[in-house]
Amino acid sequence: MTRPVIGITTYNEPASWGAWVTVPAAELQWAYVDKVQRAGGRVVLLPPDDVDTDIVARLDGLVLTGGADVDARLYGEVPHATADVPRELRDASEIALYRAAMARELPVLGICRGLQIMCVAEGGALHQHLFDVVGDWSHREVPGTFVQHAARFADGSRIAEVLGAGLTEVNSSHHQAVRDAGRLTVTGWAHDGTVEVCEDPARRFVVGVQWHPEMLDDLRLFSAFVDACRA
């Protein structure tokens, strides 16, 4: 069986390894690669690039990964005091890749920041400091850790088709969230109303989730995505 070629976006952050100490690097947690490979995909890593989206023509699908906050200036707001330093090159690159993938009708899976990139690219906006909205740290108590909570999905949605219509436990680690999904459709919510899933129901597979499925043992979401890419 042919393995579909899946592009996964990478971070552009300082890193250390071997004899190299704190140098700029295109990097990604292995969990993303592992899940796509285990689901049957062949991975190509996509570092930030502000010029070229032609690579999309060589892909069968696109994964937009987690990471630093999306620059609020992209949706017309001043960044909140708690916001990360903007990753302008990465923001521009991922928005361009997403739009190019949509133009070619490729399957897209957005994870955490990836969901937020999708919504901003579609004209939406974010809650910049989720604590101000929900009043607690139930989506990230400490950076770099996960909080388990329930999510519910809309009947008939793609995410419900993949994970089931009942309550599903998810693992969150984010301090921003979708406020306005733009042209996407909201199909999943946390216990406190926080948006957990957005989709384009007119497409074969365009799904963004706010949690981190790459850190779970459940392969269903990645398998459904890779199957769509293979089709």
Q: Which of 80, 101, 50 is nearest to 177 (CA)?
A: 80
**Nearest-angstrom CA–CA distance, 25 and 31:** 18
Catalytic residue positions, numbered: 112, 212, 214
Q: In sequence order, what DSSP letters do the residues of 35-58 get, joined into one string?
A: HHHHTT-EEEEE---SS--GGGGG
Task: Output the CA torsion sign for 90, 92, 96, 99.
Answer: positive
Beta bridge partners of 180: 125
**Are the beta carbons of 174 and 147 closer than 8 angstroms?**
no
Backbone angles phi, psi at 82, to 5 degrees: -90, -5
**Are the beta carbons of 173 and 196 closer than 8 angstroms?**
no
The encoded tokens of residue 161 equal: 């088709």
**Are the beta carbons of 194 and 210 closer than 8 angstroms?**
yes
Q: Residue type at 181?
A: A
**Are the beta carbons of 125 and 74 closer than 8 angstroms?**
no
Q: Beta-carbon neighbour count of residue 204 at 10 Å?
A: 14
